[in-house]
Structure 1
Amino acid sequence: MKKILLIMSVLTTGTLAAQTPPARKVLLQQALPGISVETVKMDEITFAPGQGAPVHHHPCEVYGYVVSGQILYQPAGEPAQLLHAGDSFREAAGREISVFKNAQNDQPATFIAVYLLRKDQPSIIINK
């Protein structure tokens, strides 16, 4: 009986090892600036049709991924970009974001934002 279990274990292990690995797609690869990260915060944010954020900046690095819809994204001094579901983006610490809004007027847009924070640091600052 022990011999049969050993043979089955070897056969099963061999079968598992021969399976195709999961598909992997690099969404964003970015060298981190010399920063100290004490907290990672991840938010799922949904904008209603046409809704957007006011002009703002982040005191920390922010990495994002568009889950659904389309986002119009424009860091200060750069041309606007239209981000679609499946696109990723980076907002550098301290960089003003002039435009960040749902580009569609008939459906919501959802994205994930990952903030690399120092202790007790806010994740967003609205520019006045």
Structure 2
Amino acid sequence: MRTPKIITAVVVFVGIFFSGCKAQEVNIKRKDLQNIIIDGYLHKVEMQEIILDANQGAPVHYHPCPVVGIVISGKILFQMDGEDAEILNAGDVFYEPKDRKILCFENVDANNSAKFVATYLKESNEKSIELTH
């Protein structure tokens, strides 16, 4: 059974991620940003910091695995197939389901770059992204 390994990996990941936080903080405030239920188990979690230059966008694509992300800075126009377009600002989170076409993921700021962190939740050795034609 792989579940204990997954739980251990997640606990270690969270511990490392938040290791810069002060342990003495007593007034920690938490705000749920997104909760996603994923069936099965994960083989690998990959995180990437991605920077889009001013007015730069990704081509139409999909991910062979679910992707959870958070915008660090900038303003991104985001649209999945079958959904309305929306603007993501710094602090906004997004979810891209496995194999769902992403029609638009574009930095709409003409002067500044946009930065986000994408977390790829992989069941095996899937690629992180596939371009569509």
Partner of residue 107 from structure 2, selected from 92, 102, 110: 102
Q: 2:31 matched to which residue of 1? A: 25
Q: 2:41 matched to which residue of 1? A: 36
What are structure 1's unaligned runs of at least 5 residues? Answer: 1-18
Residue 114 of structure 1 and its aligned partner are, at CA, apart by 0.3
Q: 1:121 matched to which residue of 2? A: 126
Name the Cα RMSD after superposition. Answer: 1.5
Partner of residue 72 from structure 1, selected from 73, 77, 80: 77
Q: 1:15 matched to which residue of 2? A: none
* Residue type at the aligned position of 2:53: A
TM-score (norm 2): 0.78
Moved more, 90-99 or 22-31: 22-31
Residue 21 of structure 1 and its aligned partner are, at CA, apart by 3.0
Q: How many residues align?
A: 110
CA distance in 2: counterparts of 1:27 and 1:52, whole angstroms: 24
Q: 1:62 matched to which residue of 2? A: 67
What are structure 2's unaligned runs of at least 5 residues? Answer: 1-24
Larger radius of gyration: 1
Please list the CA deviations of residues 99-127 of structure 1 after superposition, one character each: whole Å capped at 9, or x if unmatched: 00101111000000000013221010000
TM-score (norm 1): 0.81
Give the percent of matched residue pairs that are identical in Structure 1 and Structure 2. Answer: 40
